[in-house]
Structure 1
Amino acid sequence: MRVSTNWLKDWIDHGLDTQALADRLTMAGLEVDAIEAAAEPFTGIVVGEVVDIQPHPNADKLSLCQVSDGSSQEAVVCGAPNVFKGMRAPFAKVGAVLPGEFKIKKAKLRGEESRGMLCSAKELGLSEDAAGLMQLASDAPVGQDLRDYLSLDDQIIEIDLTPNRGDCLSMAGVAREVGALTGHPVCRPQIGTVDVTSKQQVAVSVADPSDCPSYLGQVITGIDTAAETPVWMSERLRRAGVRPISPVVDVTNYVMLELGQPMHGFRLEAINGAIRVRRAKKGEQITLLDDREVKLDEDILVIADEQGPVAMAGVMGGKGTAVETDTADVFLESACFAPEVIAGRARRFGLHTDASHRYERGVDPELQARALQRAASLIMEVAGGQAGPVTDARSTRPAPSPIRLRRDRLHGVLGFELDKNTVTGMLERLGMAVSEDAEDWQATAPSHRFDLNIEEDLIEEVARIHGYDRIPVVSLPSDVRPGQAPEDRVPESRVKALMVERGYQEVITYSFQPAEADKLLSGGVEGQKLANPISQDLETMRTTLWSGLTATLRHNANRQQARVRLFETGLRFIPQDSEIEQKKWVSGLAWGHAEPEQWDGRTRPVDFFDVKADVEALMQVGGPRHLQFLPERHPALHPGQCAQVWAEDKAVGWLGRIHPQVADTLDLPADAYLFELELAQVAKAELPAYQRVSRYPSLRRDLAFVVDEDLAAETLVATAREAAGESLVGARIFDVYQGKGVDSGRKSIALGLILQDSSRTLTDEDTDRVVSRVREELERRLGATVRD
């Protein structure tokens, strides 16, 4: 919701500056995403009047205009097709600076001097419309600074509302909230009277009142098709993010933004007979305003005439009854539809409209008559016309039940006491009808607050209005007892802490991801499709956490981040026959420089072994473990830089560089490294056990073996351990070499053997026997030869 601070001041004099107002709203649960200016910076532009206009002698499409700035007249060459004598438009005088630092200077255009420029809305950054000059009201004060005339120093507050606060999707709703927070009164706009001067009306019926509790309509005929939306209304629409179109459409959008009631106008001549609100019939179709023809399901609520659907209720109107620029007779609709009947219907057809956004969250069922009167009066004020009688199809609404708020419960949850009159005042400022007795309150929620149903809702409201930042810190009594911490499990918090210690940042991504990207990264696994995704890009339950991590990498790489380290813990959802396997995994991604930039300037890119070290540290967070990194193939990883991770003879995950083709398809850097490990295996901890430390010295023997280049070093070490027996307490690879002195297709691996006995000192003969066994076994089983 985009809120103009100037428009808001018409509703309430809150006495706060823009930043203070944004802070109050955020602390009350209406999170402010951004504050921005209503218009780009420009100077020297005033309201100008075209006092004379003549054809340009040397150009058919140019005009010579005399433009008054209130104190003098200037000759201006103009190419706009809509310029006319008496027109008032933005006039940039010589020396003015337009958006983009474009400075206006004296110029000659096709031989005629021009001292200034008449401006379009696009040139001022106010609209995308560049078809002609921005026409101002005929009574706009000539010579007044345009920024002052249009209040362009206004600030726009963008609020990110949670789904339960649909009541704040309007200026009225935000004003009510600000009034409750500050205690200042809210001033509703005066709604003009609508005199019924026509007998024309459209009959309306509702098939099921539970689908549509309220439906009102009114015919307005004889609208002036040459009328234009006034600048003040166009500006308010623009600042709210809505493009002005025509007076009737603009008024319906304006009332929606002002009061929160979505409205729709039908071209009267296109309606055949009576209107009926009903569910769609099997096989019915409709062509929507965006020219798409859709086949309606039987659970879709429609507005229909005697020939079929003319609108998808609460979502979008049909093209056949759309209001055009030459439409003089309209039927205005003001309705309340049940949220559960509208929810999900728009997304089913790939739609998301301002109306569906509001109806899905709930529209005040008592607002329709007031909104219809407001819309009709504005249309007649702007474009004239005659109004017919209102057609009213409203059902009886059950009286809301009061909610009990207990004093002890309120103070027990908040942790501090509030004066009883203070609480009563807060509830009343929220529009509730409040009664009280010695200890408790009975509060009845207003019709626009669908989210207030139980006692906890009222406690939350009191906390919000009081201010979360003003709640004192107190120690609450608790009988919570510490739980058991098994010694054979490492807490997930320790796993996360280790990743942070190694330079990674935790991210939390959606559990649903784009189907193609997820399938590509998981190696072809088909994920579970969602029946009702929140968007077309988030349609599949993830089968790998890599899909979210790589999307985060792309976002950061596109914003000039040179070093990215990410990890996430979460569930994967793998379809297994008729069920879905859900296991928690920890996944990571590394890209960019191996180390943060520092003073000596030497940097290198992260490589396979950097990430392998991180995986080894992660797998040993619970104590030393025997790990293996076996060269295997994963479709999403580079075939030459990919390993399957094994722990105690069990495959627990993968590690490798992203496959170049996958990186290219997903628009990712080709030198990113990924890993994923089953969290249950990572969190295993070795139980503490006493082991005697040998009193006797250890001996080390270093040997270099020449083996086939495709032999895994792990295989060499494992074979040496088996051959050496119990006296071997350590085996370390300290050198790998290929090149001069080693045959092609072979490599040299240097192995350090550490020998020790717990009962005696080993002799040279003992050591030689062990080394001999190792040599013989490696030669026999692996074809290894001792390097000279």
Structure 2
Amino acid sequence: MRVSTNWLNEWVDHGLETQALADRLTMAGLEVDAIEGAAEDFSGVVVGEVISVEPHPNADKLNLCQVSDGNDTVPVVCGAPNVFKGMRAPFARVGAVLPGDFKIKKAKLRGEASQGMLCSAKELGLSEDAAGLMQLAGDAPVGTDLRDYLGLDDQIIEIDLTPNRGDCLGMIGVAREVGALTGKSVCRPPVGEVSQGGSEEIPVSVEDPADCPSYAGRVITGIDTRAESPVWLTERLRRAGLRPISPVVDVTNYVMLELGQPMHGFRLDAIQGGVTVRRGRQDEKITLLDEREVALDEDILVIADERGPIAMAGVMGGLGTAVEPDTEAVFLESACFSPTVIAGRARRFGLHTDASHRFERGVDPALQQRALDRATALIQSIAGGEAGPVTLAGSQPAEAAPIRLRRERLHAVLGFELEADQVTDMLQRLGLEVRADEAGWEAVPPSFRFDLAIEEDLIEEVVRIHGYDRVPVESLPSDVRPGEMPESRLALDQLRSLLVERGYQEAITYSFVPAETDRILSGGTEGQKLANPISQDLETMRTTLWSGLVGALRHNANRQQSRIRLFESGLRFILQGSDIKQEPWVAGVAWGSAEPEQWDGRKRPLDFFDVKGDVEALLTAGGPRGLTFQADSHPALHPGQCARILVESEDGGWIGRIHPQVADQLDIPAGCYLFEIPLSVAARGRLPAYRPVSRFPSVRRDLAFIVDESVPAAELVCAAREAAGEVLAEVRVFDVYQGKGVDSGRKSIALGLILQGSSRTLTDDDSDRVVQQVRELLETRLGATVRDQ
């Protein structure tokens, strides 16, 4: 919500500087995101009057104008097509400085002198309209500084409202908040006098009052199609971020900004018969104002005439009944729709309108006729017309139930005492009807505070108005004890730091992801669908962290990043019947060259073993552990370059290269590598323990075994450790060979056994015995044979 401080000051004389006002609003729960000026900087621009207009003798598209600036009349060459004698428009005198540090000087254009410039709104930075001069009111005082005349030294406060404060999506709501915070009275602008000379009306009906509690409509005929919205109105729309269109549309937008009531105008001659608020029907379609055709169903609330839908209720009107520049008669709509039937409907069609934003949060159910009268009076003051009677449908809003606030409960929650009169005054300033007694207060909220329903709501309102910054700071007694942190467990920050040291950057992605991406990467696992996703691409809770990381990889690769290392720690969400299991995991993605570009010019592409080294470093950060990378298959990973990680025989996740088909489906580089590890496994460490260093010499024996090419080297290493026992200090794989001298389908793996005793020097017999044990176990378990040469 963009709030003009000048406009706000007309409602409530709060007496605060802009920054102080923003601070008070933020502390009251209406968070201020930004404060900005209402216009760009410029100077030397006044209200000018065009005294005469003559064609330029040397240019067909230019005119020679005589312009009065209130003191002098000077010649000006102007190319605007809408300039006319008597027009009042912004005039930049010689010496004026326009936005962009553009200085106005005396000049000659096609041989004619020009001493100043008549300006368009775009040249002043007020809008994108550059079709012609910015026309001011006919009674604008000539010579007055334009900034003073239009109030351009105004400040705009941008407020980020929480979803429960739909009452503040209008100037009246913000003014009520400011009045309650400062103790100042709020002055409502008058509705204006409605000239009800017409008799034409359209019957309205509501099929289900639960969908539309209140609906009001009125016909206005005889509208002057030549009328234009006054500058004061278009300026207020501009400062709120809306573009002026035509008097009827501008007025409905203005009333929405002023009172928080969205309205819509239908072209009267396009409506057939009466108007009904009902649910859509299968096979019904409507073309919206943005020229998109959408299919409707029973989940969509519509406004319909005898022929079919003419608007999507609370979202957008239909193109077939749109108000056009030559429209002389309109049917104005002012309604209250239930938030439950509007919420999510706009996003379902990729829309987000000012109306849907308000109706999703709730609109005052008692406001419709007042807003209709206000809009009618404004239209008549700008474009004339005769107003017909108001037609109403729906049900009368039910009176709000009283809410009980106990004195003891208020004190218990706040932790400090407030005087009873203070509490009564604060609730009354918020518009509640309050009755106090010895035990507390009974308050009836006004119709516009539909978010107040329980005792805790009133407690929140009291502390908001009192001021969170005025709550006394006290140390409260507590028996909370810190949770136990095993000494062997690694902190997540340690794991993050380790990956950063190895060249990775941390990514934080959404927990909700595209459903198809997640299904592909998880191997068909179905994730939890969101009931109200923020977009069509973020509709499912992730079942793998890869879903977000591959999107980040694609984003960076598409922006010319040639070497990418990303990791993320977070939850994945697994459906288990009616429950959702939330599991913390650590995952990473890597692509590009193995090393950053350097002076020697050598480049080596990343391979499986580079990423495997990163994973090993991560899993051994807490001390040495038994790691096994077991060849396996995963639907998202490349066959032959995919492994299941086992940590001391426990499942430790996956590592591998992306499957080429998956890479093509997701539009990511085919040479990227992924890993994903449960945080419970990655964070587990081992307490350091002293082990004396042997004083005795070591012995090395090298053995080469021929095994089936499907047997991984890790299995030979594990079997060798098991067979050799405690005297095996280390085992090294120092050669792998396939080729001449080795049968097809077989391979040679050479192991270096480092043997060392802890209490004595090993003899040759001791070493031979260990070697024999290793040979026998490998032959029995893995079918290995010793290679002679």
Q: Report the TM range for the smaller structure's normalisation.
A: 0.7 to 0.9
Structure 2 residue 201 is matched with structure 1 residue 204: no
In the alignment, is the contact (CA less than 8 A) between 1:699 and 1:754 conserved in 2?
Answer: no
Question: For residue 213 of structure 1, what is the aligned residue in structure 2?
Answer: 213
SS of residue in 2 equivalent to 1:244: coil
Tell me how far 1:481 sits from its aligned partner. Answer: 7.0
Distance in structure 2 (CA, Å) of the matches to 1:140 and 1:107? 27
Q: Deviations over 1:211-235 (max 9, x none)?
A: 2222222222211111111112112
Question: For residue 58 of structure 2, what is the aligned residue in structure 1?
Answer: 58
Tell me how far 1:192 sits from its aligned partner. Answer: 1.1
Question: For residue 586 of structure 2, what is the aligned residue in structure 1?
Answer: 587
Distance in structure 2 (CA, Å) of the matches to 1:285 and 1:655? 49
Question: For residue 174 of structure 1, what is the aligned residue in structure 2?
Answer: 174
In the alignment, is the contact (CA less than 8 A) between 2:265 and 2:332 conserved in 1?
Answer: yes
Q: CA RMSD in A?
A: 4.4
Q: Deviations over 1:143-199 (max 9, x none)?
A: 333333323333322222222111111111122222222323222222212132222
Tell me how far 1:764 sits from its aligned partner. Answer: 5.4
Q: Deviations over 1:629-664 (max 9, x none)?
A: 356666766889765422234543233576799779
Tell me how far 1:325 sits from its aligned partner. Answer: 0.9
Question: For residue 36 of structure 1, what is the aligned residue in structure 2?
Answer: 36
Question: For residue 498 of structure 1, what is the aligned residue in structure 2?
Answer: 495
In the alignment, is the contact (CA less than 8 A) between 2:513 and 2:541 conserved in 1?
Answer: yes
Question: For residue 441 of structure 1, what is the aligned residue in structure 2?
Answer: 441
SS of residue in 1 equivalent to 2:491: helix
In the alignment, is the contact (CA less than 8 A) between 2:507 and 2:566 conserved in 1?
Answer: no
Question: For residue 72 of structure 1, what is the aligned residue in structure 2?
Answer: 72
Question: For residue 135 of structure 1, what is the aligned residue in structure 2?
Answer: 135
Distance in structure 2 (CA, Å) of the matches to 1:280 and 1:328? 29
Distance in structure 1 (CA, Å) of the matches to 2:70 and 2:104? 19
In the alignment, is the contact (CA less than 8 A) between 1:193 and 1:377 conserved in 2?
Answer: yes
Distance in structure 2 (CA, Å) of the matches to 1:560 and 1:180? 54
Q: Cα–Cα, structure 1 residues 350 and 105, in superposed 2: closer, same or farther, change >3 Å?
A: same
Question: For residue 647 of structure 2, what is the aligned residue in structure 1?
Answer: 647
Greater shift in the superposed pair: 707-716 or 642-651:
707-716
Question: For residue 314 of structure 2, what is the aligned residue in structure 1?
Answer: 314
Q: Cα–Cα, structure 1 residues 754 and 437, in superposed 2: closer, same or farther, change >3 Å?
A: farther
The AA in structure 2 aligned to 1:569 is: G
Tell me how far 1:247 sits from its aligned partner. Answer: 0.5
Question: For residue 568 of structure 1, what is the aligned residue in structure 2?
Answer: 569
SS of residue in 2 equivalent to 1:67: strand
The AA in structure 2 aligned to 1:587 is: V
In the alignment, is the contact (CA less than 8 A) between 1:570 and 1:586 conserved in 2?
Answer: yes
Distance in structure 1 (CA, Å) of the matches to 2:116 and 2:670? 54
In the alignment, is the contact (CA less than 8 A) between 1:415 and 1:476 conserved in 2?
Answer: no
Question: For residue 285 of structure 1, what is the aligned residue in structure 2?
Answer: 285
Distance in structure 2 (CA, Å) of the matches to 1:632 and 1:118? 76
Question: For residue 452 of structure 2, what is the aligned residue in structure 1?
Answer: 452
Question: For residue 423 of structure 1, what is the aligned residue in structure 2?
Answer: 423
Q: Deviations over 1:714-765 (max 9, x none)?
A: 35533432442342244467x8899xxxx9x999999775545566554454
Question: For residue 400 of structure 1, what is the aligned residue in structure 2?
Answer: 400
Greater shift in the superposed pair: 455-464 or 374-383:
455-464
**Equivalent residue runs for 1:260-299 within 5 Å:** 260-299=260-299
SS of residue in 2 equivalent to 1:537: coil
Distance in structure 1 (CA, Å) of the matches to 2:556 and 2:411? 46
Q: Cα–Cα, structure 1 residues 321 and 526, in superposed 2: closer, same or farther, change >3 Å?
A: same
Greater shift in the superposed pair: 544-553 or 381-390:
544-553
Question: For residue 22 of structure 1, what is the aligned residue in structure 2?
Answer: 22
Tell me how far 1:452 sits from its aligned partner. Answer: 1.2
Q: Deviations over 1:447-499 (max 9, x none)?
A: 1112211111122222322333433333434566777x697995xx9345532
Greater shift in the superposed pair: 457-466 or 777-786:
777-786
In the alignment, is the contact (CA less than 8 A) between 1:218 and 1:332 conserved in 2?
Answer: yes
Distance in structure 1 (CA, Å) of the matches to 2:663 and 2:465? 50
Work out the percentage of aligned pairs sharing the same amino acid.
66
Q: Cα–Cα, structure 1 residues 151 and 672, in superposed 2: closer, same or farther, change >3 Å?
A: farther
Distance in structure 2 (CA, Å) of the matches to 1:755 and 1:411? 75
Greater shift in the superposed pair: 326-335 or 660-669:
660-669
SS of residue in 1 equivalent to 2:177: helix
Distance in structure 2 (CA, Å) of the matches to 1:615 and 1:158? 47
Q: Cα–Cα, structure 1 residues 299 and 98, in superposed 2: closer, same or farther, change >3 Å?
A: same
Question: For residue 237 of structure 1, what is the aligned residue in structure 2?
Answer: 237
Distance in structure 2 (CA, Å) of the matches to 1:673 and 1:51? 75
Structure 2: runs of 5 or more not aligned:
none
Distance in structure 2 (CA, Å) of the matches to 1:765 and 1:138? 115
Distance in structure 1 (CA, Å) of the matches to 2:300 and 2:665? 38
SS of residue in 2 equivalent to 1:229: coil
Q: Cα–Cα, structure 1 residues 749 and 472, in superposed 2: closer, same or farther, change >3 Å?
A: farther
In the alignment, is the contact (CA less than 8 A) between 2:264 and 2:334 conserved in 1?
Answer: yes
Greater shift in the superposed pair: 507-516 or 772-781:
772-781
Distance in structure 1 (CA, Å) of the matches to 2:46 and 2:382? 25
In the alignment, is the contact (CA less than 8 A) between 2:704 and 2:751 conserved in 1?
Answer: no
Question: For residue 257 of structure 2, what is the aligned residue in structure 1?
Answer: 257
Question: For residue 467 of structure 1, what is the aligned residue in structure 2?
Answer: 467
Tell me how far 1:255 sits from its aligned partner. Answer: 0.5
Distance in structure 1 (CA, Å) of the matches to 2:179 and 2:470? 18
Question: For residue 303 of structure 2, what is the aligned residue in structure 1?
Answer: 303
Tell me how far 1:402 sits from its aligned partner. Answer: 1.3
Distance in structure 2 (CA, Å) of the matches to 1:707 and 1:243? 80
Q: Cα–Cα, structure 1 residues 524 and 238, in superposed 2: closer, same or farther, change >3 Å?
A: farther
Tell me how far 1:611 sits from its aligned partner. Answer: 5.7
Tell me how far 1:674 sits from its aligned partner. Answer: 4.2
Q: Cα–Cα, structure 1 residues 132 and 759, in superposed 2: closer, same or farther, change >3 Å?
A: same
Question: For residue 540 of structure 1, what is the aligned residue in structure 2?
Answer: 540
Q: Cα–Cα, structure 1 residues 217 and 60, in superposed 2: closer, same or farther, change >3 Å?
A: same
In the alignment, is the contact (CA less than 8 A) between 1:197 and 1:388 conserved in 2?
Answer: yes
The count of corresponding residues between Structure 1 and Structure 2 is 773
SS of residue in 2 equivalent to 1:410: helix
Q: Cα–Cα, structure 1 residues 430 and 722, in superposed 2: closer, same or farther, change >3 Å?
A: same
Question: For residue 163 of structure 1, what is the aligned residue in structure 2?
Answer: 163
